[in-house]
Structure 1
């Protein structure tokens, strides 16, 4: 089964779980993602329309949107849905499966499950840059490999945002130690 990035972000997001995403010498098995649904989603960067900053999120699907979070972290999304809709999937967390030494060089001495836990840490482990905007996920700089068997997954509220917080648009592999922990609440 091949992921169709013309589908909406809430359909694409769980299909990304278990995929191996490779960039700049590091490969990560995705264990947690979040869907953002464009104009109808107050938490989406694209909620208020297209800007120079979020233009990559408007497509085409299957291309990267990288942004700076909190002024320091680079977080990565994969644009999806028909071009012009501003939907995408945030890559929240994963397990480093290749390039571990390089990931540690970029991240420092952290426990292994935290190497790519959280969107900024995942972006740092992969060395995502703003210049990666618009790059195809299966192009010369990125590679997305789908698993032979799809993992079980669950969904629930997104974390780390202040708008549309109850939308069950966060998807993760239950019990995986690389999945983010909700602050102030037990790990789901």
Structure 2
């Protein structure tokens, strides 16, 4: 009898709480977990030996394709969640010089050298000893088969390349946010 009363009580409570209202529709877009809200800055061609663009960036995220010798880089201000600059180059000599400048920038640098799966949504890490849950998302290809791109100044990306840049920009923002939670550049002590 007690079980019957509990079932009836839960049924009535559920009926009252599930009354008329609006349904929430969630649309799957296939983008990463924290899309770029504002338009990111234009993509610039990096000139060998040049300094990094000025601006308050706290993290630098790079996609480096060793087999082609090219890179994509995004400077992110993790405190504000904004993209400060986006750079590219397709020459191995320019790329090696860029990496030297990047490592000397005084901010955390993350370099992706292999394709990565960018999850559709926030994924909680599994508990120790338990298997990882399957993750769905978009694969970001570090290397593409586009060989022989024109030398700078190259035109802005279009089509698949533009989509690749958007995915990478989202990945850079997400990477910087996660790293910003665990470590930050030490503030300068000089006046």
TM-score where L is the length of structure 1: 0.27
TM-score where L is the length of structure 2: 0.27
